[in-house]
Every structure is written in C-alpha cells, then in structure tokens.
A = this chain, B = another copy of it.
Amino acid sequence: MSWTVGELARLAGVTVRTLHHYDRIGLVRPSARTSAGYRSYDGRDLDRLQQVLVYRELGFPLEEVATLLDHPDADPVAHLRRQHQLLRARLERTQAMVAAVEKEMEARQMGIQLTPEERFEVFGDVDPAQYDAEAEERWGETEAWAESRRRVSSYGKDDWLRIKAEAADVERRLAEALRDGVPADSPRALDLAEEHRRHISRWFYDCPPEMHAGLGRMYVEDERFTAHYEQLAPGLAQYVSTAVQANAARQG
C-alpha cells in the first residue's frame, strides 16, 4: 500500500505543504517517487510521520525530533514509552491549569484576591519539551532506565524471545484457569492478571492498575485484541478482561 501527498495529508490531518516541508528538511521523506516525480509514501513513512506528529504536538522543535528519531539506539517502543511519559506530564499540567481556573473563579465568586505568585505558578515550566534542569532529571531517569535496558537488549533477539515467552506463559496459564472453570474474579485469576500487569510494567511502560483496567476494556471492545485472545481459547478475551478489571479494583 502506498499514498500520495494529498492522501497522507488528509489521513494525518496535516496540509500538503507541511509534508513538502518535512520532505525538504529531511524529517519525513517519501520512500519513493513515481516516474512523474510524485511523492509516494509507504507504511514505514506513516510510522515515521506518526512519531513526528506526537513529538510535534508535545512542542519539540522539528530538528530535535529528527535527532530523536534518527538516534540509533532508540527503538520504536522506547519512543512510545517516552511519548507516553511526556503526554502524562502534559495531562498533569493541563489538569493544574484547569484547577487554577476553577480556583480563580471560586475566588472571584467569594470576592477573594489571589496572590500574583499563585495566579502564575501554573505557568512555571511552560515548555513541554523541557531541556532545563527538571528535564535533565526526567531525561536522566529515562536514560538510566534505557541504559539498564540496553545491556539486556544488547543480545536483542534472545531478549525479545524471552519477553514473548513470558507473555505467552501468562496467557497460557490464564487459558488453563478458564478451562478449569476458575472464576474470573477469583484470587487465582486476579493473581494471573496482576502478573500480566507486572509483565507490561517491566518490559514496556509503567502500567498502574487503573491503566491496566483500560487495557482490559479494550480487549473486549476492539475485535483485533479480542481475536488475539480468542484464538488461544474461546471466551478468553472476556475472561482476561474481567480478571484484569477486577484486579485493578482490588489493587486500587
């Protein structure tokens, strides 16, 4: 499958001019051109554009996005982890701003004057793409983590095999529990769900119970995820979904 500029632009919600620009600066280049010189984007170009758009949305300058994406030892999953983290930071910031506006309204209603410091405190670290101090820290944290992972990840393929095997193991035991008639909200099922959650947290991204519950819902709402489980055992998708959500309730 391949796309023309116009198609991709519509798909991604950007203008053609933007894609031209990204091509010129080498940020997202079409993998091919037609004989007439038309840009032709393929699946991997889409991958790339998606990553770019997330980072852009987060306020990174394009040049930095380029160096990030072209950095050799940052695999796709690492980027997703990072984006996830930054988005959550942004969520917090927006929530803080919402709270600030609410506070201001409430203060007005009561005829209370807030101090200037208070009123501006939410604008402190405006820039989402933080380089400064605090960001170093955040980066450092991620970098430390990346380092500790890079060691393990240096034998790459084996590592992935182990992760996959671990996941398959949890899934197999969940299927067994289902087959044995163990209720989805029993301690045994919940423990397996918790193992599932820890596996994700360990290898992919920090996944607190609440988020895990969200994934659980997805397993029955999105047919492709459903299919993944159903092909292991009929009824497993619903089973896992229930167990995961029950476990989240237990943990929270």
Contacts and interface: CB of A to CB of B under 8 A. Distances in A.
Nearest to A105: B80
B225 A110 contact: yes
A90 B108 CA distance: 24
Interface stretch (A61-69, A111-119, A135-143, A177-185): A111-119
B95 A83 contact: no
Mostly, the A contact residues are helix
A53 interface: yes
B116 A11 contact: yes
A156 interface: no
Contacts of A80: 101, 104-105, 108
Task: Classify chain A: how many residues form its interface, as a range.
Answer: 35 or more
Copies of this protein in the assembly total 2
Interface string A219-238: 00010110010000000000
A205 interface: yes
A26 interface: no
Contact of A54 (B90, B97, B116): B97
A88 interface: yes
B101 A53 contact: no
A102 B211 contact: yes
Q: Which of A11, A95, A101 has the most CB of B within 10 A?
A: A101
Contacts of A186: none
Contacts of A205: 102, 105
A98 B109 CA distance: 34
A76 interface: yes
B167 A112 contact: no
Nearest to A106: B215
A14, A46, A88, A98 pick with most chain B CB within 10 angstroms? A98
Given A103-B218, A105-B77, A11 B120 contact: yes
A13 B105 contact: no
A204 interface: yes
Interface of A: 11-14, 43, 46, 50, 53-54, 57, 76-77, 80-81, 83-84, 87-88, 90-91, 94-95, 97-99, 101-110, 112, 116-117, 119-120, 123-126, 167, 200, 204-205, 211, 214-215, 218, 222, 224-225, 228
